[in-house]
């Protein structure tokens, strides 16, 4: 299995359509800094705080997935994802931040940066304006990109990097399994609606565009991480 092979089918097509933007995302300077340890601590901590706010809205977007599901299986996957995010992942974030001296209160008072706001509201609006597939196309870059980054960095990182825990989280079995489950759901969801040749329909361009836009917004999120690192906490 190659690093990008979550769902060899429709997901692979979306990822391919994002082209160079996808590489800008998964190979971003911020990502390289996590792997070789060169990322300033300040940048990482500010990223964590923004990511906390991100997770709140990302959970809302996944909840919209339950609202828009077309089958019980889709509902189950989305509902489990929401619960995992809200009742576990966010808590994990709180702990990691606490270890770095950032209290939950400070997290809650994090001022949401524009790049952060733009990204999550774009995803939520994909859900409001489109259907389940539009929402999934906008959610996919975050889910699969972090999985791919995790595996990349796991395979190739500096032994001294202080960001090993972050790398373990996203390269670990738990997260990789989430990716596989979501990839399977995405594949089935597209097929169940658009059949085996979805990529030939005009509909596919719209889905690709949403995926690409969300990928650009991921790049913007990393850019923000670097920018905030220069500003101090």
Among the candidate windows 4-12, 17-25, 33-41, 117-125, which touches its own copies by CB under 8 A?
117-125
Give the three-state DSSP class for 131: coil
- Whole-angstrom distance, CA of residue 24 vs CA of residue 28: 5
Q: Answer for the pair 189, 133: CB distance below 8 angstroms, yes or no.
A: yes
Find the part of the chain contacting its own copies (CB under 8 A) among 29-37, 123-131, 143-151, 166-174.
123-131
Calpha distance 79→110 (Å, rounded): 27
If the CB atoms of residues 54 and 163 are measured against its own copies, the closer one turns out to be 54
- Rounded to the nearest whole angstrom, what is the least distance from the CB of residue 130 to its own copies in the complex? 5
Interface with its own copies (CB under 8 A), residue from 1, 2, 20, 72: 72
Is residue 29 a contact point for its own copies (CB under 8 A)?
Answer: no
Single out the residue of 19, 27, 70, 162 in contact with its own copies (rule: CB under 8 A): 70
What is the x/- site pattern for its own copies, positions 163-202, by CB under 8 A? Answer: ----------------------------xxxxx----xxx
Among 36, 37, 42, 66, binds its own copies (CB under 8 A): 66
Tell me the number of residues near its own copies by CB under 8 A.
Answer: 49
| Helix ranges, 85-163 (H) | 90-99, 104-108, 114-129, 132-155
Q: Where are the strands (E) in the chain, listed by range?
A: none
Let me know the angle formed at the C-alpha of 87 by 106 and 228, rounded to the nearest 5 degrees. 35
Taking the CB of residue 23, how many other CB atoms lie within 10 A of it?
12
First vs last C-alpha separation in the chain: 40
Chain residues 132-161 in contact with its own copies, contact rule CB under 8 A: 134
CA distance 118 to 112: 10
Q: Provide the binding-site residues for its own copies, judged by CB under 8 A.
A: 56, 59-60, 63-70, 72, 75-76, 78-80, 82-83, 85-87, 90, 108, 114-115, 117-118, 121-122, 124-125, 128-131, 134, 191-195, 200-203, 206, 217, 220
């Amino acid at each position: 299995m190659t690093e990008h092979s979550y769902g060899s089918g429709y997901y692979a097509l979306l990822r391919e359509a994002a082209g160079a933007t996808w590489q800008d995302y998964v190979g971003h300077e911020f990502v390289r800094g996590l792997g070789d340890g060169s990322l300033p601590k300040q940048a990482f901590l500010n990223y964590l705080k923004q990511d906390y706010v991100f997770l709140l809205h990302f959970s809302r977007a996944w909840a919209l997935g339950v609202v828009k599901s077309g089958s019980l299986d889709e509902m189950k996957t989305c509902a489990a994802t929401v619960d995992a995010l809200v009742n576990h992942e966010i808590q994990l974030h709180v702990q990691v931040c606490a270890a770095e001296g950032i209290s939950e209160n400070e997290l809650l008072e994090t001022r949401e940066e524009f790049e952060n706001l733009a990204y999550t509201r774009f995803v939520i609006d994909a859900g409001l304006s489109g259907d389940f597939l539009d929402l999934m196309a906008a959610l996919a870059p975050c889910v699969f990109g972090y999985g791919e980054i995790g595996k990349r960095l796991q395979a190739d990182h500096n032994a001294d990097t202080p960001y090993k825990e972050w790398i373990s989280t996203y390269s670990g079995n738990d997260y990789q399994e989430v990716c596989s489950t979501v990839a399977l759901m995405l594949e089935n969801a597209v097929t169940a609606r658009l059949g085996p040749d979805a990529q030939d329909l005009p509909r596919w361009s719209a889905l690709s565009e949403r995926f690409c836009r969300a990928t650009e917004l991921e790049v913007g999120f990393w850019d923000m991480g670097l920018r905030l690192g220069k500003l101090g906490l």
